[in-house]
């Protein structure tokens, strides 16, 4: 059986006219003799509206009821897509997670798909039907509805491709594919034809909004090739695949940036074993993600200044946690919200010397000061003043010839 999994994002199903366009895309694959499994997100804006309603009900809205509430958005869009396919003369129906079922494990709001029962869907495919499945949701082993995190329909599609051994997994969205950098920030950003899982994972975790990082990690672990393409323009997209499938002579594949970072500095911390753990443990316990970390030890070796970055949304919570932490002593606590992180990503830097120098030199020529540095095997990230973000992207894009 030749199966293709098609996922449509919120903007792709954002209006009735767009849902009609989605139905046309689906039927093209049917005409090519594919058995099509459709995964749909909620119509754009619907999930946010439901979340806002929960906040108006309670400041501590139940996580389990949150999952019941926000999963309703996908139910609406699936019904509308299936309804249009029926109107076009095709056999179709919507499927909620509990009807399949899609089994998940983990906490509410952040569950992961553990198992998909295939029998019902396979029988329906064999009968000529087009199943339209609600993404982003599942049920746990207590038969409660769960969700798998914002952007979770990508993860749903990838897991369907795995369990049904699909030939293709195509993510339809509102952009043509993955670009060398955000095309909204740089008009001459270029579409990347092929990118490795590792590069895409870094780009997504560092600010690129095409896909959620955990979805890419699922694809990488299960070796599922993904094509990202536009539901509005009939053009080839970007293939996300394993490294050995890529022939690429570029050192750097792309540039990512963030707009929601904050820098935290503890000045005059006593330098002794375990102090960093004492600082970061309560942050971890409160689900605050710490990113870049740098430590400067004083000349006498007795004190240190510890700097790290967090999401700006977590700033007030972080301030409160640190000030209430009785296990640490420091002279002062500094915060800076006027920062952004710029990163260059590429597997080519593994075997190419001088990349760090070229990045720093390009920024220096633009008189851009680097506040914090973080590196991995295939990326270099720097924290800079937010006002310099576009200037930095332009300089780095030019330095590594990404427009060609």
CA dist., res. 330 & res. 340, Å (int): 26
Residue 167 in domain = yes
Instruction: Give Dmax over CA atoms of the chain in angstroms.
Output: 79
| Cis before 101? omega within 30 | yes
Residue 279 in domain = no
CA dist., res. 166 & res. 121, Å (int): 13
Pairing of strands 92-95, 130-134: parallel
Residue 138 in domain = yes
Q: What is the CATH number of the domain that holds 128?
A: 3.40.1160.10
Residue 125 in domain = yes
Residue 182 has pLDDT above 90, yes or no: no
Give 11-37 pLDDT, tens digit per residue: 999 999 999 999 999 999 999 999 999
Residue 152 in domain = yes
The parent domain of residue 63 ranges over 3-174
* R_g over Cα of the chain: 23
Residue 126 in domain = yes
Residue 37 in domain = yes
Residue 78 in domain = yes
In the structure encoding, which two tokens stand for residue 11, read together? 């903007």
Q: How many domains is the chain built from? A: 1
Supply the pLDDT for residue 247. 73
Give 290-341 pLDDT, tens digit per residue: 989 988 877 667 788 999 999 999 999 999 999 999 889 899 999 999 999 9
Whole-prediction pTM value?
0.84
Helices 72-87 and 46-57 sit at what angle, rounded to 10 degrees?
150
Supply the pLDDT for residue 403. 83
pLDDT > 70: percent of the chain: 98
Least confidently predicted of 72-76, 197-201, 247-251, 318-322 = 247-251
Residue 206 has pLDDT above 80, yes or no: no
Q: What is the mean pLDDT of the chain?
A: 93
pLDDT > 90: percent of the chain: 78
Residues 139-166: what's their mean pLDDT?
A: 94
Supply the pLDDT for residue 299. 65
């Amino acid at each position: 059986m030749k199966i293709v999994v098609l996922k449509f994002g919120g903007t792709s199903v954002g209006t009735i006219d767009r849902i009609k366009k989605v139905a046309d895309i689906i039927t093209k694959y049917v005409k090519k003799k594919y058995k099509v499994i459709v995964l749909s997100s909620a119509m754009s804006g619907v999930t946010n509206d439901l979340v806002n309603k929960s906040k108006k009900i309670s400041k501590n809205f139940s996580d389990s009821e949150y999952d019941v509430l926000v999963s309703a958005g996908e139910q609406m869009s699936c019904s509308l897509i299936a309804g249009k396919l029926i109107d076009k003369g095709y056999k179709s129906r919507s499927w909620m997670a509990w009807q399949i079922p899609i089994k998940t494990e983990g906490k509410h709001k952040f569950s992961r798909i553990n198992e998909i029962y295939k029998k019902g869907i396979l029988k329906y495919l064999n009968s000529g039907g087009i199943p339209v499945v609600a993404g982003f949701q599942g049920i746990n082993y207590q038969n409660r509805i769960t969700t798998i995190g914002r952007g979770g329909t990508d993860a749903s599609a990838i897991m369907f491709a795995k369990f049904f051994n699909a030939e293709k997994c195509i993510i339809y969205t509102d952009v043509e594919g993955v670009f060398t950098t955000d095309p909204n920030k740089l008009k001459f950003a270029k579409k990347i034809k092929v990118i490795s899982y590792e590069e895409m994972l870094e780009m997504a975790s560092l600010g690129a909004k095409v896909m959620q990082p955990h979805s890419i990690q699922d694809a990488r672990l299960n070796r599922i090739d993904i094509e990202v393409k536009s539901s509005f323009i009939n053009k080839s997209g970007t293939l996300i695949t394993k490294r050995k499938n890529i022939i690429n002579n570029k050192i750097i594949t792309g540039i990512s940036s963030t707009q929601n970072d904050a820098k935290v500095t503890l000045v005059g911390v006593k330098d002794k074993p375990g102090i960093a753990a004492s600082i970061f443990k309560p942050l971890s316990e409160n689900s605050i993600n710490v990113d870049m970390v740098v430590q400067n030890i004083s000349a006498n070796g007795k004190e240190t200044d510890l700097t790290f970055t967090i999401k700006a949304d977590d700033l007030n919570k972080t301030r409160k946690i640190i000030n209430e932490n009785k296990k640490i002593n420091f002279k002062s606590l500094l915060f800076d919200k006027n920062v952004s992180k710029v990163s260059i990503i590429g597997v080519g830097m593994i075997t190419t010397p001088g990349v760090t120098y070229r990045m720093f030199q390009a920024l220096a020529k633009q008189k851009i000061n680097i506040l914090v540095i973080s590196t991995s095997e295939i990326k270099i990230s720097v924290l800079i003043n937010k006002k310099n973000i576009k200037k930095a992207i332009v300089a780095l894009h030019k330095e590594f010839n990404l427009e060609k």
